[in-house]
Structure 1
Amino acid sequence: MQQPLKIYNTLTRKKDKFEPINPPFVGMYVCGPTVYGDAHLGHSRPAITFDTVFRYLAHTGYKVRYVRNITDVGHLVGDADEGEDKIAKKAKVEQLEPMEVVQYYTDRYHEDIYRLNVKTPSIEPRATGHIIEQIELIKSIFDKGYAYESNGSVYFDVVKYNEDKPYGVLSGRKIEEMLEGSRDLDGQGDKKNSVDFALWKKAEPEHIMRWPSPWSDGFPGWHLECSAMSVKYLGEKFDIHGGGMDLKFPHHECEIAQHEAAHNCSPANYWMHNNMITINGQKMGKSLGNFITLRELYSGDHDLLEQGYSPMTIRFFILQSQYRSTLDFSNEALKAAGKGYKKVINGLRLTKKLAYVADESIEVNEKQVKQIDSIINSIYRGMNDDFNTAVSLAGLFNLLKKINGIHLGNIKPAELGEETFNKVIETYQTFVEEIFGLVEEKPADLEKAIDLIIEEYKTAKENRDYDKVDKVRAELKEIGIVLKDMKDGVEWAYDEF
């Protein structure tokens, strides 16, 4: 009997049993990238984390609508309410239209992130495609008395909202402390209070990206976009809202407040936040020289990289840790992940060659069957405990030991019985390919090339040309391939060491 799925809910600060609003349907909204630069290592973690959530929920029978947005306006430098739009700033530097910047980096984001075998979301809306919905949402907040206009811009009145509902429920921040900490600041610009945030900003004359509204020609606030798009595609109340830990405050906190103000409910029942990736113990930042894009990771073209790392190595590296845990990048960690990935793929290749062989003279080994059932339960138990891929991977490696035992003849298929044997194969393949999203990375025509080399190797062995035998082995090992002499012939595998 499998345990029910539990999710650590940032809102309740505990693991809550997952109970969808309208099963078997599940609505999940995840904050996507602001497209003004190439995807970097940090982007890979939420992409893979919520891809795995998407995959596992689908595997367990849910019909998931996964919405991941593209932010293409309103995200200002410094994540603040004043200053230049990140995309408009890039457009000025490159002497392009802002939407040229958006298209260019959206395309590159897709190219880089999908190499990680991340599934496309069900819907990928852009903020600029939902200006009407955002204006209507502001009107609704105005009607409830929680918005005010100031010089053509519209702000959310956090202090007034806090009189009716607590502001800070997600992050645990207290409005009194935030106000106290901002008293010494010189002026608040157009805001009544420093804690208020923009719903609509009046565009300055030089501001390129602007739309007409009842208040001014301007653009929507960053926080507003996600509220409008999530409601449009998932309804006023949906199941899961996800994103990186850095979005918890102010972005997600503001989302909750404006949603509560407009709809009198919190948008999502479960708030999930993946932790950040550090690099050699430091937060990633351009000023520190440790900012690594995914393209640089793939190619190895960065001073901090000793080599390039394949997309599946990066995916495996991220799956090795539970999504809420800290994860530190280093060359050593990536190389270790590469070895682990190859071990898993070698196991996958084995499962596709193994077949059940009935033998009435062999009795079912109940001890082996119980061990395998326990291992498979541990794999599911890890995923049901807040998507703990680290625990599930450990279970998968234990299952791989049984698969290797079958392959080497130490465990006879008949000892397990056909049902358990098939369960071993199906569970391993399902978790590797369907849930963890790991695929075999191999050069073009690798199989054909290795088959030719193996024939040459066999001939050398038959002729007792041991110098050539050793040379073939050494040359293959240099490219990460090892040969194994078996009873029935010669096999190859990826080098795990």
Structure 2
Amino acid sequence: MNHPLALYNTLTRTKEPFEPLQPPFVGLYVCGPTVYGDAHLGHARPYITFDVMRRYLQHVGYKVRYVRNITDVGHLQNDADHGEDKIQKLAKAAQLEPMEVVEKYTHSFHQDMARLNVLPPDIEPRASGHIIEQIQMIQEILENGLAYESNGSVYFDVPAYNKEHNYGKLSGRVVEELLSNTRDNLEGQEEKRSPLDFALWKKASPSHIMRWPSPWSDGFPGWHLECSAMSRKYLGTQFDIHGGGLDLMFPHHECEIAQSQASHNKSDAARFWVHNNLITINGKKMGKSLGNFITLGQFFNGDHAELQQAYSPMTVRFFILQAHYRSTLDFSNDGLQAARKGYLKVMNGLRILDQLNYPTGAEAIDAKAEDEIKKLTAELLTPLHDDLNTAKAIASLFNLLKKINSMHTGGFKLETISQETFEQMRAQYRLLVQDVLGLKMEQTADAQELLHVVLGFYKEAKEAKDYAKVDQIRAQLKGQGIVIKDMKTGIDWAYEE
């Protein structure tokens, strides 16, 4: 399969031609959410980015297996190896079972993703359902002499690993510099041989609710381990693409590579490590730990002090896609309002294309017009070959949209291009907008409000004794399952029973 796709690989710091290990199959793993709170705009970016990547790979003919996990255990405060489990902390405060918290926020996450038209992954494994696989991987790393047990916990031995490998190859961090930065902060690190060592298994304290038996203690797996174990189970010891936000590159993804190399995998897990950049708010990373996030639900209903209005899911999706995934994206109401206008323009283009019909009769082909439309059509998907550049693809859409609007108003005569070119233009526009970018029509009007408008016309027709119009409105509403009720107190409607 020969497709000119190039992807930026964080591991090599270069843009490389993408060739899967076992064409036509592509294995894609993306780090999923830690389900202890509602998803926010920062979460939406990776899931929309890799949704488009998956859609694009499928469009060019690959068979994609997309795995995105749910972190429902072992993610401690500040992503460290000590502190309180975020899910357990919330469960205690609300007097709930931890799995009640997990179910609530997993359901909320799925709802938000569906609203954003993010397709569900092919496999969505939970960390709590793969404890056996994680224990197996720890045992391999211990066998290879690159981990050690300490008081019932097991830690990855970074200095031992670094003798033959390069801890820092993904993030560009240098072990000596990392050590000098961590020496001052050794609180809670007494069990470790080196402050850089990270937990593979943590012995549970007596008050810790979420625990499983292991050869070392009743405890729970380290945060980094779950992704290594689950990606291996469903995609193999080496696979094509590992995706996630730039904030996960260190330590999470760096530790995943170390775990994979130190286990029996002896690989970097993925050949391509692909990272989307962050969403910022007033120049700072948007995140739960910083308390400066706006949840997706708040975007959709407008209920946040930073929001001037509510923004629909497709507006949010368009806002994210109009920037290249590797560039930073700063939240602003102006940016979202511009995104809303852009999204509606694109949707109006779809509506117009649905209405346009190629005129019957003789073609009056103008070679210049024909070439221009062919060129604009060909430019729609080309930017996606170059590291999934959705920003340029949307710019290409707007260039073609000017011509589509001109066709609609009669300025551009359809007969000056061939029917084949017209159909190709229409098909490619729909393909990019709906199938690859994943944008869809949203109901902007309120059905109840529209019904009240129609009832107003019905009342006017009745008062004017225009019974033909009265019967017409009644019949059309009946066709929609709505009956009009004429009562002494006024006019109302009901669902037809």
Bucket of the pairwise TM-score, normalised by the shorter protein: 0.7 to 0.9
Are the aligned partners of 2:380 and 2:429 in contact in 1 as well (CA < 8 Å)?
no
- 1:314 is aligned to 2:312: no
Question: Which residue is 1:60 aligned to?
Answer: 60
Question: Which residue is 1:376 aligned to?
Answer: 377
Alignment partners' CA distance in 2, 1:171 and 1:289: 26
Alignment partners' CA distance in 2, 1:15 and 1:141: 32
| Amino acid paired to 1:107 | H
Question: Which residue is 2:256 aligned to?
Answer: 255
Aligned to 1:240, the other structure's residue is in SS state strand
- 1:270 is aligned to 2:272: yes
Matches within 5 A, 1:40-59: 40-59=40-59
Aligned to 1:420, the other structure's residue is in SS state helix
Q: What does the per-residue CA deviation read over 1:179-236, in whole Å, with 9 as the maximum and x for residues that have no partner?
A: 2223344473111101111100000111101000000000000000000000111111
Compared CA separation, residues 286 and 192, structure 1 to 2 (3 A): closer
Aligned to 1:15, the other structure's residue is in SS state strand
Compared CA separation, residues 289 and 76, structure 1 to 2 (3 A): closer
Matches within 5 A, 1:277-356: 277-285=279-287, 290-356=292-358
Question: Which residue is 2:172 aligned to?
Answer: 172
Question: Which residue is 1:494 aligned to?
Answer: none
Are the aligned partners of 1:39 and 1:113 in contact in 2 as well (CA < 8 Å)?
no
Question: Which residue is 2:481 aligned to?
Answer: none
Alignment partners' CA distance in 1, 2:452 and 2:432: 28
Alignment partners' CA distance in 2, 1:432 and 1:164: 48
Compared CA separation, residues 286 and 22, structure 1 to 2 (3 A): closer
Shift in Å, 1:285: 4.8
Aligned to 1:379, the other structure's residue is in SS state coil
Aligned to 2:417, the other structure's residue is in SS state helix
Alignment partners' CA distance in 1, 2:419 and 2:282: 48
Question: Which residue is 2:401 aligned to?
Answer: 400
Compared CA separation, residues 208 and 304, structure 1 to 2 (3 A): same
Alignment partners' CA distance in 2, 1:283 and 1:238: 30
Shift in Å, 1:77: 0.5
Compared CA separation, residues 286 and 201, structure 1 to 2 (3 A): closer
Which has the larger displacement, 48-57 or 274-283? Answer: 274-283
Alignment partners' CA distance in 2, 1:414 and 1:123: 48
| Count of residues in Structure 1 that have an aligned counterpart in Structure 2 | 455
Question: Which residue is 1:485 aligned to?
Answer: none
- 1:75 is aligned to 2:75: yes
Shift in Å, 1:376: 2.5
| Amino acid paired to 1:311 | P
| TM-score, structure 2 normalization | 0.88
| Amino acid paired to 1:31 | C
* Structure 2: unaligned runs, 5 residues or longer: 462-497
- 1:31 is aligned to 2:31: yes
| Amino acid paired to 1:383 | L
Shift in Å, 1:335: 0.7
Alignment partners' CA distance in 2, 1:317 and 1:449: 32
Alignment partners' CA distance in 2, 1:84 and 1:377: 54
Are the aligned partners of 2:3 and 2:60 in contact in 1 as well (CA < 8 Å)?
no
Alignment partners' CA distance in 1, 2:120 and 2:42: 18
Alignment partners' CA distance in 2, 1:39 and 1:241: 21
Alignment partners' CA distance in 2, 1:191 and 1:328: 39
Question: Which residue is 2:466 aligned to?
Answer: none
Aligned to 2:220, the other structure's residue is in SS state strand
Question: Which residue is 2:245 aligned to?
Answer: 244
Matches within 5 A, 1:103-182: 103-182=103-182
Question: Which residue is 1:434 aligned to?
Answer: 435
Shift in Å, 1:412: 2.6
| Amino acid paired to 2:245 | G
Are the aligned partners of 1:378 and 1:391 in contact in 2 as well (CA < 8 Å)?
no
Shift in Å, 1:450: 11
Alignment partners' CA distance in 2, 1:286 and 1:429: 37
Shift in Å, 1:282: 3.0
Alignment partners' CA distance in 2, 1:299 and 1:323: 26
Alignment partners' CA distance in 2, 1:125 and 1:205: 28
Alignment partners' CA distance in 2, 1:449 and 1:404: 30
Alignment partners' CA distance in 1, 2:171 and 2:288: 27
Question: Which residue is 1:191 aligned to?
Answer: 192
